[in-house]
Amino acid sequence: MDNAYLKKTWQKARDASARQDFRAALALLQKIKKSIPVDADVQFALAEAHAGMGRLPDAIRECRAGIERVPSAPEGWIHLGRLCLATADGYQALEAFNRAIEIQPQSIHALVGRAEAHALLEDFAAAEADFQKALINSPDHAEITIGLARIQDASGDIDRAEDTLRKACESAPNEVSLWLTLGFALRGWDRIEEARAVCQQARVMHPESDELIAQGADLAYETRDLDEAIALYRQLLEGNPDNPMIQNDLAQALASIGRTDEAEEIFRMLTGKFPFFTKPWLNIALSKRFEERDPDIKAMLALEKKPQLSQDQGIHLQFALGKAFDDAGKADKAFRFYKKANQQHRKHLDFSIEETRDQITRLIAAFDKDMFSRLREAGSSSRKPLFVLGMPRSGTTLLEQVLCAHSAIATAGELRALAQEARRLATNAQAPWPDCLASTKTEDISEAARRYLTALEAKNDNESKIIDKMPQNFLHAGFAASLFPEAVIVHCRRDPVDTCLSIYFQMFPRGMDFAYDLKELGEYFKCYAGLMAHWKALLGDQLIEVHYENLVSDPSTTLKPLLSALDLPWEDALLSHQDHVGRVDTLSLYQVRQPLHKRSTERWRRYENQLGELIGALD
């Protein structure tokens, strides 16, 4: 570019891209293109600007045009490969990275890119080989090590993935990203206490790392160490006082321990200071009951109409408006907002009902009477565990808090230890769950029961019964009964349509991908119901059913048989559980602090005209 004006415009465009103002960069680059339409650098820069604005087809077109000018430059092919990865086109990405490697065989960026393309195509062996080649050329590159571990994890080789990350942390302890990745990996493998230990170890070496403090706070929150979580969120805010996400997380932790006034003050501060950060509106909505003329409804409606509000920002607001209009008795308006929120959120999820059906079929086949009898012989005689399970929104949290009003009952919350032990058996047997049970030895079952009991008692060892209230343990009820043949397992049941509607009306933190489409939700419920029928036939009286509708309408009649099964006397405190509510970290944290009521029974009838897909799937 010899022209001084073009050079100046080019520099402005590059500066705009550097500060991620891609709209300005695009306008400047298009001016340059009119003067020099065949410059490869300009076309690559245009590709970058289009990509930054989410216009991937335009970015790929400009990138290919640039490559035509300089086909021997590996950077162009690498750029094209990255763009193809962004569009999930693994084959085109692979071709682009192959061309780059032909030109520059030792290119780290090309090898890593090709590894990611192989991974996208689920050729994990080829992906690992490319990551290993890249590591030979750059052995201290943390991101390559992380990529390698992720491939090993994706291929099902968790042990090697963990070994890769732990060795990397030992050899490069100053690389915070390695510690973070190991912590996140352990969390993903349901080994949350180990994840927390790793994070604490890393924070000793890197006490100023905001990322490690944030991870520590989140892990403390998940393990119900809410005082620690609050302390760490406050520590984060010292260096990031205007970070709305941290403020919101702090407020949620405060709400979980009953400091709701402090929480609401923060939520309302956030709605004023960061109007397009919409999570606080949902938290406010969940904490109150609305009347039709509530000023909060007016404020949320005005915000929802603003053109600056992105679709993703709108999701939390639409769930909040759905809750508001549901409270106000405006079912049509409520459902319109709930449907809009669910449809938008569902776009981001990858859920297959066929995978769920296959999972349930394999569980039923594996846990037959012969297998169940063999496993139970090696189980623990402890009666301390009290499993409370069922579908989400079926009353598990309510029953947990009611029972915790009893002087001999405590809770460990939503413990992940049962799923963790199932995963451990599968890993040791080198076979998927539950197929691994065929080769599981009796001593493995005894050891799994011992480890589970240790994890349970670490939460609270002062009471005679400790609740494990993980709803998704309905998938593991047979396993729980195998480990603890003398323990009581409580299945919380609720009207199927009410259960599914309540699920549909919630935005879950994660892991409930079946929840955002009415047809899929109904089909998932049928899978769950089929599995629970199998467990009931197999477990008999060890599995006690508690119906939500009976619990809220006649609690004493409902609870007395359960207490009898637990060998515990009746205590009147069970009828005023709201005076004894402890720490709650689920979506029910506001509801369980209220006296027992029947407002949520047969709620679905107000929405009957909109629930055809759900009811059809349930039939």
Residues 19-45: tens digit of each pLDDT: 989 899 999 998 888 888 768 999 999
Tell me how crowded residue 38 is: count the other CB atoms within 10 A of its CB.
Answer: 11
- Closest by alpha carbon to 176, among 221, 152, 207? 207
pLDDT tens, 555-585?
A: 999 999 999 999 999 999 999 876 555 555 5
Token pair 């009828």 is at which residue?
A: 575
Residue-wise pLDDT for 88-145, tens only, equals 999 999 999 999 999 999 999 999 999 999 999 999 999 999 999 999 989 989 999 9
Question: Do 466 and 412 meet the contact criterion of CB atoms below 8 Å apart?
Answer: yes
Q: Pick the most confident of 25-29, 66-70, 347-351, 414-418.
A: 66-70
Rg, the chain, Cα only: 27
Residue labelled with tokens 């999930």: 88
Q: Please, what is the average pLDDT of the chain?
A: 93
- Residue 199: CA count within 13 A, CB half-sphere: 26
Distance CA 544, CA 165 (A): 43
CA distances from 120 to 92, 93, 151 (A): 11, 10, 10
Which strand (E) or helix (H) includes residue 469?
Answer: none
pLDDT value at position 586? Answer: 47
Residue 600: the pLDDT is 63
Q: How far apart are CA 92 and CA 82, in angstroms?
A: 10
DSSP class of residue 141?
-
Q: Name, in order, each residue with C-beta under 8 angstroms of 294's C-beta and a sequence gap of 6 or more.
A: 324, 328
Residue 580 has a pLDDT of 56
Helical ranges in 206-243 per DSSP H: 210-222, 226-239
The helix (run of H) or strand (run of E) holding residue 465 is strand 465-468
Question: How confident is the model over 310-351, as pLDDT tens digits?
Answer: 888 999 999 999 999 999 999 999 999 999 999 999 998 989
Q: Which domains does the chain have, with CATH numbers?
A: 275-348 (no CATH), 359-618 (3.40.50.300)
Structure tokens at 527: 């899978």
d(C-alpha 501, C-alpha 393), whole Å? 9
Q: Are 320 and 281 in contact (CB under 8 A)?
A: yes
The pLDDT value recorded for residue 525 is 98
Bridge pairing between strands 385-390 and 465-468: parallel
CA pair distance 510, 8, nearest whole angstrom: 48
Q: Kind of pairing, strands 385-390 and 488-493?
A: parallel
d(CA 488, CA 398): 18
